[in-house]
Homo-oligomer: A and B are copies of this chain.
């Protein structure tokens, strides 16, 4: 017999993988300047520190760290993650924490717990494309919430909730991926109130919050939630290491937490204990504050360099001015196709992600996402200059 595409489950048949992961393959080309991806800078990673902590925790806990652990998490990590999240304004105790394989898994487990095929999930548009793919894999029906420069428009969200009665809303409130936009304070309060009023679970995906370079931190949506409708999803990927694959969800609704734990049991039993213990030690030693100060200092300079370098873009292009995070979002003059720009830019050894990939329904051909964390200042200037030239030439209809 021949294996055919028709054997795949319906929910997987049309899903052909993350565009970003395909773009990554192009980045291996020597000399490529990459504004694609959402990686921390290499200098933000601390292999010597992690090595030392790894040795310490294996000496401290011995064989128990290599044995099976509980699905709901390694006790010390649940405590230190809860304390860390409380420092960010999240309401939680150790017992509310579920360790996960990065923020992605927290959202996957929420989808698994709540979503039947055909169920509506509300989300921003554009939004994180990993989340779009995850929602599609549960056969969810994605409905966009209108947004502006302050994030989700609350009245529009309420109208959509009344229309669709969704169980789940997915929001990235701080330095949103891909736009870099931050949800305004009053809107955070209002969304928490909507969640309680209508009984909608809000998945608050907040992995960039501590990468703030200017302005005042805002409390999480979850901090305004009295009843446990908001699930706060954090990750140590952008702060300590994405390769360690460790995040923490704060789930104050015990029924929901229990169902997410059950969902995790049959997928991976538990998150690796060594990884939980290393991050626990990192937090307990108080290494985070200084580390964030250092990397935010570097990223601030890189962000500003990129913002300045938009002067290389032709007139008619616009861009966001984020206060933190890893991304700037740009809109090219109407009619300029970022996919065409991408093809030409790659020939000139510059890469980014065309914005259309972040829209559940595609379109918005003139948008793009630019990352600044992986490039130093001269590289950012050089890359933006090349990109500006390619955009101008594409806009003029000339070939490069």
- Taking Cβ atoms with an 8 Å cutoff, the residues of A that contact B are 1-3, 5, 7-12, 15-18, 21, 24, 37, 39-40, 42-43, 45-48, 50-51, 54-55, 58-59, 61-71, 101-102, 104-105, 108, 112-117, 119, 130-131, 133-134, 137, 167, 196-199, 201, 227-229, 237, 240-246, 253, 255-256, 258-259, 261-263, 265-275
Contacts and interface: CB of A to CB of B under 8 A. Distances in A.
B7 A243 contact: no
A377 B117 CA distance: 52
Nearest to A138: B9
Nearest to A278: B274
A104 to B, nearest CB: 6
State how many copies of this chain the complex holds. Answer: 2
A255 B67 contact: no
A245 B101 CA distance: 11
B9 A133 contact: no
Nearest to A37: B68
Given A66-B45, A243-B69, A262-B17, A105 B267 contact: yes
* Residue among A21, A69, A228 with most chain B CB within 10 A: A21
A114 B7 CA distance: 6
A101 B104 contact: no
Nearest to A39: B68
Contact of A270 (B48, B64, B240, B245): B245
Contacts of A63: 42-43, 45-47
